[in-house]
Structure 1
């Protein structure tokens, strides 16, 4: 533990990061782990998104019909305790009346999240929105692969500094002005 004196009211205590988390989340030698996880979850999102973007019930003349059907099924389980009351209310009063808008958001969101993760562009942001979608699906009562994808997405968010090292982030993050600098070992 390192103590740093600051001001007259006391001291600020900085707790050093443990070696394992420092290696996993800050060392580019761990980037291959994040590459494998990124590609797995990225291709999963691309596949799901592409299937929706090319489906007329999600994006097209009948946009919103698939989403309405999914949400109606979620609402049916709300009475049995499958969906929390507040989330059921959100689905009923916000999502279903705007099913077309949400349908486009889900379809294109899944595809763009997947592409971002596959190519390693804004990996942390893509993983955050992927986790948000997984949480939304879980709240609607769909388990499937969502818990695993949510866990991987949360880890990718934590590893944002090195998760895109084998991807476009390696060059994009420094250009975007993130606090990313290479520290050489002495």
Structure 2
């Protein structure tokens, strides 16, 4: 027996927050703040010898060892994540060092110029979660929340940015049949 899908309408508040270009200026401010935070953090790593230079991997190795040490002390780092860090990330510290450094720069640039805003915000929030799992608070909780909101607002968050022109050309899920 085939059932027709039931369409649930979106409430007016979330529709206004995440779909109205009237809030594009608000999302621009959020996007620039989060983008600047990522670009600044990433640039510091890209220009650091301990992240991407001769000693690449040294900084992330120290960070990972510190996170692994927190695993036995309490709930700061869960056992499964400590195992992931110890068995996957630590042996490949140099690779992850470059991924983190350049990933942060790319997320920052994507958010600042408003290009693929939802995707950039998603990867920013993913990095925030990995830092939170490693027991590091800093600005990660607020950046995670803001990035998550940017993911939800992806249709208008890049309105004052390159997405305004790029998304119609690249195609979006709702207009694939029109191409």
TM-score, normalising length: structure 1: 0.90
What are the residue-to-residue correspondences of 1:22-171 with 2, within 5 Å?
22-81=15-74, 82-171=76-165
Deviation string, structure 1 residues 81-106 (Cα, Å, up to 9, x no partner): 22100000000000000000000000
Q: Distance in 2 between matches of 1:108 and 1:97?
A: 19
Q: Distance in 2 between matches of 1:11 and 1:177?
A: 27
Q: CA deviation at 1:11?
A: 4.2
Over 3 Å counting, the alpha-carbon distance change for 1:179 and 1:9 in structure 2 is closer
Q: Distance in 1 between matches of 2:16 and 2:37?
A: 27
Residues 75 and 92, structure 1, Cα contact 8 Å, conserved in 2: yes
Q: Which has the higher strand share?
A: 1
Q: Distance in 2 between matches of 1:74 and 1:16?
A: 44
RMSD: 1.2
TM-score, normalising length: structure 2: 0.94
Q: Distance in 2 between matches of 1:168 and 1:11?
A: 38
Q: CA deviation at 1:72?
A: 0.6
Deviation string, structure 1 residues 126-145 (Cα, Å, up to 9, x no partner): 00000000000000000111
The equivalent position to 2:171 in structure 1, one of 171, 174, 177, is 177
Q: Distance in 2 between matches of 1:78 and 1:11?
A: 49
Which structure has the larger Rg?
A: 1
Q: Which has the higher helix share?
A: 2
Does 1:17 pair with 2:10?
Answer: yes
Residues 137 and 143, structure 1, Cα contact 8 Å, conserved in 2: yes
**1:4 maps to what in 2?**
none
Task: Note the residue ranges of structure 1 that are not aligned, 5 or more in a row.
Answer: 1-7, 182-186
Task: Note the residue ranges of structure 2 that are not aligned, 5 or more in a row.
Answer: none
Q: Distance in 1 between matches of 2:17 and 2:110?
A: 21
